[in-house]
Structure 1
Amino acid sequence: MNSIQKKIWMLATFVLVIMALIWTTLTYYNQKTHNQYNDILQRYLHMNEVTTTSQQMITAINNYLISSTPATLEQVDLSKQKIREAKYEVYILRNSENDFALTNYINLIDSLIETIDRSVMFQTEKETESSQKAVLEATRISKYISEMTLTLLDKELKTYDRFYRSIIEQSKELKKLGIWLLLLITFLLLLFTYWFSLSITRPVLKLTQAAKELSKGRFDLRIEVESNDEISFLAKMFDRMRININTLILEIQQKAQLENELQQNKLLLQESQLRSLQSQINPHFLFNTLNTLSKKAYLEGSEETSDLLVSVANLLRYSLKRLDRSVTLYEEVKVLQQYIQIQKARFTDRLQFHMEIDESCLHVQIPGLTLQPIVENAVIHAVEPKEDFGVIWLRVIDGDEQVTIEIEDDGPGMDEDKIKQIMEEHLIESEGHSTGIGFSNVVKRLRLFFGYDDVMDIESIPGRGTKVVLKIPKTRGIEKYDKTPDRR
């Protein structure tokens, strides 16, 4: 993993390398120019050294003629040695342009040495006049050498004039190159610095934006930072924290929803029990009284009245059961038939009830007192107001994963607002229901029992009847009811 510190070191290294390249390039060209200049200067110095040495040689031979001692002779030999060395240095300066002139120049040096040697020889042999003539000739040759030196220097100056101009041009070009190189390096540095700053600021900006979104409560947005440094690690930890917080919030919401549903269930049970208690005045006394009346009617020969009393007693017993227990669809259909028997005794031929039941579905578990309140609502609104007769249909249809229960009537129907009130569990039930369990109560208990909202549809057209469709799954998703099912 590349850290921010490594990136900074990389930037510093890049800058140092660029500076080193610039310094190396400038040093190379400067040293090259300096060496060329030194070479030219050394040529001038070597030629000037020949002139100086030849003059020293003339001085030494004159001293020897005045005083022929070993010391003065030694000075003559020393000057001859120096001019020979200067001759060698000048010989190295030979090129195609000064070859002829430099050859004559070297010959003059040789002539000067030979003339000095003759003068010393004549002085040794006491031929003073011949020695002085040789010194005069050596003096003349020395002058020639001085003049020749000036000629060669002038020629060298003309030869290297182009070189001087080229150095000046080269300096100008080098200056331009330096400016362009500086601009190029500045551009590269700016580009590299921009890229480098983006590699740090872009992840930080993404992380900052993610923090703003989290502060707004949006925990579903994934935090992704394309980087390979500490910021990427920080983003991963930040995203993991987001996931943990989101999971915790979901768990809290689920627990709150569960507690809310449980509270609603408790309130629903309390309400049902309260309504049930309101209709109970000593249930055992009522059961015993109804059974007594049923037996008395039977003994008196009123069998129809006896059967009706038995149905009422069974319906009362069933309605007083605990509503948090589930029952089978078979039990619901059975108690519904007893309820219809009671209502037929009331409405006679005005009530027509038809059933189409798939018996393979009767084992399905549903909350107790589910069908009876719906049918009772149909009786109240579809049969009771009519003067002729009303029809109610009950259909139980088997499906792949659910059982469909349809309860249909040919009553006046309902408008959309009332249907919406029922489905949103806001409908205030009308009084007079024998069980005390209203329509919206049924919707609540079904939703709590099966754990989802889509358990009922209501299809109704004003003036053309109402159809209530229950969608009962064969396998429950949650278990809030049926903790101690009634197995009778």
Structure 2
Amino acid sequence: MSSIQRKIWTLAAVVLFIMVAIWTTLTYYNQKTQTQYNDILQRYLRMNEVTNASQQTITALNNYLQSPSQANLDLLDRSKQQIRKARVEVLVLRNSDNDFALTNYMNLIDSLVETTDRSLMFQSEKETEDSAKAFSEATRISKYISDMTLTLLDTELKTYDRFYRGIIEQSSELNKLGVWMLLLITLLLLLFTYWFSLSITRPVLKLTQAAKELSRGRFDLQIEVASNDEISFLAKMFDRMRININNLISEIQQKAQLENELQQNKLLLQESQLRSLQSQINPHFLFNTLDTLSKKAYLEGSEETSDLLASVAGLLRYSLKRLDRSVTLYDEVKVLKQYMEIQKARFTDRLEFHANIDETCLYVQIPGLTLQPIVENAVIHAVEPEEDGGAIWFSIRDGDDRVTIEIEDDGPGMTELKIKQILEEHVVETEGHSTGIGFSNVVRRLRLFYGREDVIEIESGSGRGTKVILKIPKTRGNEKYDKAPDRG
């Protein structure tokens, strides 16, 4: 081999070596950039996973509290496992810039899990109010987690802004290296290297500009990179991340607005109920007046009128009790008898009332003003419209774990639609003549008081009377009613 050939082969080898070196450098640079970006993307996705897991936990907890079933409990357990897993994955994101914030972030996650467990504990113990408070606290913690996620993401964007600047500096150095290499080979290689460097720096510059806009909170600007390499893929992933973050922010804002509207509606409803109560007459004045008239009638020798006024006064006094407090079945039966004495004086022989009461059951607790509104409904619809009046049968029977109360009349009965509306609490009823407590109100209070749906049944049909069956549990939650009623 001649020296010329040797030189040519040496030059070819040198050029090949330089090209291999350039190719190796470029490959290493692209791989390093992609690896670093994937690491950053994983950081963002892990933080976003915490927010999604916390919101799924709140949703699963709400579903379980609304409908305590094994399926909803399993879903809640999976949500808690998911948020614990997300917490472990977020721990690897700790650095000197986010150490304090990430510690608070971990504490919020732990607080959410603890508050969720506390709500479940209260729910299992039938402490509905405490469970609801724990649920509200868990909701607030979830919102704090979402806000902290946005804060950490903003910190990450600012922290890795230096990384994007480093990419620009590396690209500049690569351009200089390419120019020196191109000077050692042909002009064509120089042009090719220059074009190749621009194909890298331009997309990177666009990505850097997009990152700066995102760090300023501009999530509405679309990221477009006109290339067909890994930078284009990075740009697409970056744009998808921007869309996800923007959607997450919009969703959080919508949920916050909806929660605020619900709170406002709740306040308006409470204010409306308060005004409705304020618009009623003062029943204490009426009670004192009736008591005075009863004594006066007794002194004048009208004992029957005195007894009637005393019954009205007793019924009025009983109606003054708060409906959210329980009474014994003995008290309910007592006021029911006073009510029937008033109605017998009104309807005389047109009203027949038959009672069969097992007095061993009268210690059981029941919401105040439960029996009288049901009997009053029978009087209004089964006795009053009929020319010959009607009959009402009332019975209390003991069972294994429940006391069965039946109220039956021989009136025109109810349609299936009417029964369904009452049991589903959709009926707006006309108020009664004495207490103003409607049938649906009684149904609602019974279910809330015992925390179950199967406490009341209605058997009826057109032309065959109506029977209302109350199945009252002897125990309510962990409470046991083992004291005899005070009959003094």
TM-score by length of 1: 0.46
Structure number with greater Rg is: 1
